[in-house]
Amino acid sequence: MAKILVKRSCGHEEIIEVFGKESERQSKIKWAENTPCSECYKAEETKDCKEVKMLYKDYKNEYANCKTKTNSYDKSDKTIIVYAPNETKEEKIAVAIENTHMLDMPAEITPESAKNAIASLTPECIKKVSEQVAANVCQNHDFDFFEVTGIVKAHIEKMLETCKEIAK
């Protein structure tokens, strides 16, 4: 086995290991010259991800198919830096809305409580509540108020549909 310094396609120099017959070594070197270095490869693979420091066990349980930052494991607190997929803006807004707990549904909805909800969820009420929730969300996040209002409104209308199903 030999360690050889090659210039990779991205322009970085990297030491690669080659072994086997001379022809195999040459083809590995050729391949290395035509592909980006491991760091550039990783950067490309993780460009839609963000670095998240998390417990190693959470990484194993929930992010096992994500890449991790080289040498980022911290023995002292058993954490590792994981390249977790970026949430879309819609997902971020949905989580922010959930975190207000202003639209939490009761664990159990009886036909009676569903009827009450339907009666109180007038279009004016839905509009008012949507704006209140959106105002709350936008206090802490850099989202567009009208966009959030629209998402909340759709959310409430869906809840209303659920209530209608239950009230039947």
User: Rule CB under 5 A: which residues touch Zn ion?
Assistant: 10, 12, 37, 40
Mapping DSSP to helix (H, G, I), strand (E, B) and coil, where does residue 66 land?
Answer: coil
Q: Shortest approach of Zn ion to residue 45 CB, angstroms?
A: 13
Q: Classify residue 25 as left (phi > 0), alpha (psi -120 to 50) or beta.
A: alpha
Min dist. Cβ of residue 14 to Zn ion (A): 7
Q: How far apart are CA 52 and CA 84, in angstroms?
A: 6
Which of residues 14 and 58 has its CB atom nearest to Zn ion in the complex? 14
DSSP 8-state code for residue 50:
E
C-beta closer to Zn ion: residue 67 or 155 = 67
Closest CB to Zn ion among residues 32, 117: 32
Alpha carbon 159 to chain centroid, angstroms:
25
For residues 163 and 68, what is the distance between their CA atoms, to the nearest angstrom? 44
Give me the least distance between CB of 15 and Zn ion, in Å please. Answer: 13
156 φ, ψ (degrees, to nearest 5): -65, -40
Q: How far is the CB of 11 from Zn ion (least distance, A)?
A: 7
Q: For residues 43 and 135, which CB has a smaller minimum distance to Zn ion in the complex?
A: 43
